[in-house]
Amino acid sequence: MGKTSSRNVIFKRRRINAWKYLKLKNILIVVIIVLSFVALSSVASMKLLEKKAEKSTIKYAKDKEEVKDNSSDFVVENNNDEKKQDNQKSDNNNYSENTNIDLMVLGEIMMGGKVTTNLDYNYLMAFKNIYDLTKKADFTYANLSTNITNLDKIEDAKTNYLVTKNILSAFNALGLDAVSIANDHITDYPSEIIKNTESLLEENSIYVAGKKDMPMYFEKDGKKIAIVSTNSVIIGTKENYTKNGISVYDEDNIKKNIQEAKKMADFVIVDIHWGKGEASFGVTTQMEEMAKFVIESGADLVMGTHAIGIQPISTYNGKPIIYTTGYAMTDLEYETTKVSYLFDLKFENTKLSSVEMTPIYIKDSKEVLLYKDYDEVAANINMKSICSRTQENGLNAEISDNKIIVKF
């Protein structure tokens, strides 16, 4: 064998080494290709993730904008000295030149007794026929002359002007943003029950007005509307109201509060619990004098509760007067308390453009119906009477789409 065998061995080894090298080279190439693919995939994935993140951020930002837009619907503010400096209407950075504002006024909610018995505590059913109307508004406001207990049941279900906390689900369904407790019956119960009522309302994001002669403010797009609410119907003594922080009508105080509100707001409404209740009907001389006084003090609109029977809208010095906004619920059995209206105040910027009055009917001290659904003929007769008397007061009023529209 000698040299030939040796060469063959060397050659074979070289061939084996060459094949190993080639194989290794191919493996390296494959590895490089795989690594390159992985790297490219990683880059692509990173870019995709970045796009998703960007898209998510955009969506989040959009959602935030939507939340911001929604939260621009009337924001209720307390009136205190710090906010007084920060919230001057001329200094508001969010001020918008073109803003439409929709303020729904429900009138007085006076429940308990028959209402509780008839509904068996299912208060949610009382307003089911008007939820769609009230929730559309930017802001919904009422006068609450009923206290609220934490109990699930009331020992004597016939007890007047006291309801269980179940009522709060109905208030939330109504879209109720604020209630005034400046009225005669809120002090029918001890201070701890009144405080409990206030706490339950506030826990459910319902602002409590009519307290300590303080105006309340609603804001949308930098435009502010103030409501100054007070009570002039006293049962017992004034001290029974003032010790519980309930606003009691006083000319000096109401004038001061209107002037304070005018510094803060673009439009000032004064809401007075006034007049004669029960079977009494119409506008009293005292109500007329109060309305004139608050308008002369700077109010842009006056409205009231407690007085029985819906009246035509009138004016004094060009300022509207809604003598009674009626009842949103009551167990009073007079026909004049069963027939009421929802008052939808519509503003273009800071000017009241119209009031839309939708007639309702309180049936069996149990549920609120649209009057047309209860008795269309009677509803039309009532609307024609209110509309024509409003026209006699020199206002532009018409009936359209089952409601009275008063334009200003």
pLDDT at 279: 54
Half-sphere exposure of 88 (CA within 13 A, CB side): 5
Q: What are the residue ranges spanned by the domains of the chain?
A: 1-71, 78-407
pLDDT < 50 regions, the chain: 1-22, 34, 36-91
Tokens read off for 287: 């109500």
pLDDT at 95: 61
The pTM (predicted TM-score) of the whole model is 0.77
Residue 365 near residue 117 (C-beta atoms within 8 A): no
Phi and psi angles of residue 233, each rounded to the nearest 5 degrees, phi first: -105, 110
pLDDT at 151: 86
| Span 256-275, pLDDT tens digits | 999 999 999 999 999 999 98
Q: For residues 326 and 317, what is the distance between their CA atoms, to the nearest angstrom? A: 24
Q: Tell me which residue has tokens 């990683």.
A: 42
Q: Tell me: domain 78-407, CATH 3.30.300.180, correct?
A: no
Centre a 10 Å sphere on the Cβ of residue 7 and count the other Cβ atoms it contains.
Answer: 11
231 sits in the region (left: phi over 0; alpha: psi -120 to 50; else beta) called: beta
